[in-house]
């Protein structure tokens, strides 16, 4: 596990804490006896759910006042439903936190009619793991290379158009001529795994950590084979699996592939809605930092096979700001590529 944020986190917490009005209710007073809702954007059984429940369990210990933290699964539209809820409906007093989908920025830019939020208006506490998305398929499907995927139809599952389970295979189809057939309607990564097992579908695009956590035995036995990964650099234990970015033939394709891979630092992060008092944000950032360093948390994550590679709030916030910088022309093309819809 790599921890990269001691100085950054401390400085951020100190700056936020300076804004506390004299005589105001302290974070400890606010959280004492409080129930905090922790929203995760997919169904039960997937790694978002697993990470949220584990992080929530340890946040109770480290947030001042030791509130009761209850995880709420809010599946729908590939994460857009939860994103809209947290921006427009959730309490803005620090009693609602959430784990945003890794496609938070992508959905905002590509589907503004559905995504009713501004990604850079949320405030991040940090992320538990920075991880690539990976398409893995059953070993009995005869497709391993880009040329194979251009000739062979491969059926993959998806939790919805707002999810990377849709965006990644769709991008491969449009940019690089593959023949992924995307079947939507699954509620969680756990559901898609069961569908692969039943041979309803051949594979799915999921975070590499999800593959290792939920079906590590498939990878060890060879039942499932990683064939593509999406990120800015390869996963250390997947040196032989190509990055989609490597297939780009020009600057436009590189920009779109990088944009599609921008969720790497976002997934399994924790954030609060806009408007939360700054002293409570400071307390939550400090608590998240303590959770990531807690030996009991690290041991429990290892026992549940949940990968940890934490990054600080400032790093996640910067990644989101960078992802939002797209020219109108590139954005128009990205919308065509990732949604599979030609724009007028």
pLDDT mean over 199-208 = 96
Tens-digit pLDDT profile for residues 123-173: 999 999 989 999 999 999 999 999 999 999 999 999 888 788 999 999 999
Q: Are residues 12 and 125 in the same domain?
A: yes
Sheet holding 133-138, edge to edge: 180-184, 154-158, 203-207, 133-138, 224-230
Question: What pLDDT shows up at residue 129?
Answer: 93
Whether residues 298 and 226 share a domain: the answer is: no
Query: Is residue 258 located within the same domain as residue 139?
Result: yes
Of 262, 295, 310, the last residue of a domain is: 262
Q: Note the pLDDT tens digit of each residue in 76-98.
A: 988 999 999 999 999 999 999 99
Are the beta carbons of 40 and 72 closer than 8 angstroms? yes
Q: Is residue 312 part of a domain?
A: yes
Same domain (yes/no): 141, 248: yes
58 and 107, same domain (yes or no): yes
Decide if 190 contacts 213 (C-beta within 8 A).
no
263 and 164 in contact (C-beta within 8 Å)? yes
The reported pTM is 0.81
pLDDT score at 3: 47
Contact 118, 305 (CB under 8 A): no
Domain closes at, from 262, 290, 307: 262
Q: Return d(Cα 285, Cα 209) in angstroms, integer.
A: 23
Which whole-number Å values give the CA distances from 68 to 167, 230, 273, in the listed order?
A: 36, 36, 19
Query: Which pLDDT score is estimated for 157?
Result: 97
| CATH at residue 114 | 3.40.190.150
CA distance 137 to 336: 25
Q: Are residues 189 and 277 in the same domain?
A: no
pLDDT score of 2: 45
| Residue 216 placed within a domain | yes
Domain of residue 249, CATH code: 3.40.190.10
54 and 93 in a single domain? The answer is yes
Sheet holding 35-40, edge to edge: 68-73, 35-40, 96-98, 269-272, 123-127, 311-312
Q: How far apart are the first and last CA of the chain?
A: 47
Here the tokens at position 342 are 């030609």
What is the per-residue pLDDT for 319? 87
pLDDT at residue 310 greater than cutoff 70: yes
């Amino acid at each position: 596990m790599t921890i990269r944020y001691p100085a950054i986190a401390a400085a951020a917490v100190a700056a936020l804490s300076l804004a506390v009005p004299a005589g105001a209710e302290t974070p400890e007073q606010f959280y004492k006896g409080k129930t905090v809702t922790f929203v995760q954007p997919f169904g039960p059984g997937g790694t978002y759910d697993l990470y949220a429940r584990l992080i929530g369990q340890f946040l109770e210990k480290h947030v001042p006042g030791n509130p009761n933290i209850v995880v709420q699964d809010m599946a729908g539209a590939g994460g857009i439903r939860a994103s809209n809820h947290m921006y427009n409906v959730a309490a803005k007093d620090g009693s609602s936190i959430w784990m945003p989908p890794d496609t938070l920025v992508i959905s905002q830019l590509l589907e503004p009619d559905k995504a009713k939020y501004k990604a850079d208006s949320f405030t991040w506490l940090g992320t538990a793991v920075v991880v690539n998305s990976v398409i893995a398929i059953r070993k009995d499907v005869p497709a391993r290379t880009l040329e194979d995927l251009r000739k062979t139809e491969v059926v993959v599952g998806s939790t919805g158009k707002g999810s990377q389970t849709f965006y990644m295979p769709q991008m491969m189809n449009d940019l690089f001529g593959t023949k992924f057939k995307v079947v939507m309607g699954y509620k969680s990564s756990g559901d898609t795994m069961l569908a692969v097992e039943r041979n309803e579908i051949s594979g799915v695009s999921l975070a590499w950590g999800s593959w290792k956590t939920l079906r590590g035995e498939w990878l060890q036995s060879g039942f499932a084979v990683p064939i593509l990964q999406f990120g800015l650099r390869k996963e250390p234990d997947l040196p032989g699996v190509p990055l989609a970015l490597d297939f780009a033939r020009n600057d436009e394709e590189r920009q779109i592939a990088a944009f599609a891979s921008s969720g790497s630092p976002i997934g399994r992060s924790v954030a609060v809605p806009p408007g939360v008092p700054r002293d409570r944000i400071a307390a939550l950032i400090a608590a998240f930092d303590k959770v990531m360093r807690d030996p009991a948390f690290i041991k429990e994550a290892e026992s549940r096979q949940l990968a940890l590679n934490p990054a600080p709030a400032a790093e996640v916030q910067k990644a989101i700001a960078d992802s939002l910088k797209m020219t109108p022309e590139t954005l128009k093309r990205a919308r065509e590529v990732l949604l599979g819809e030609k724009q007028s």
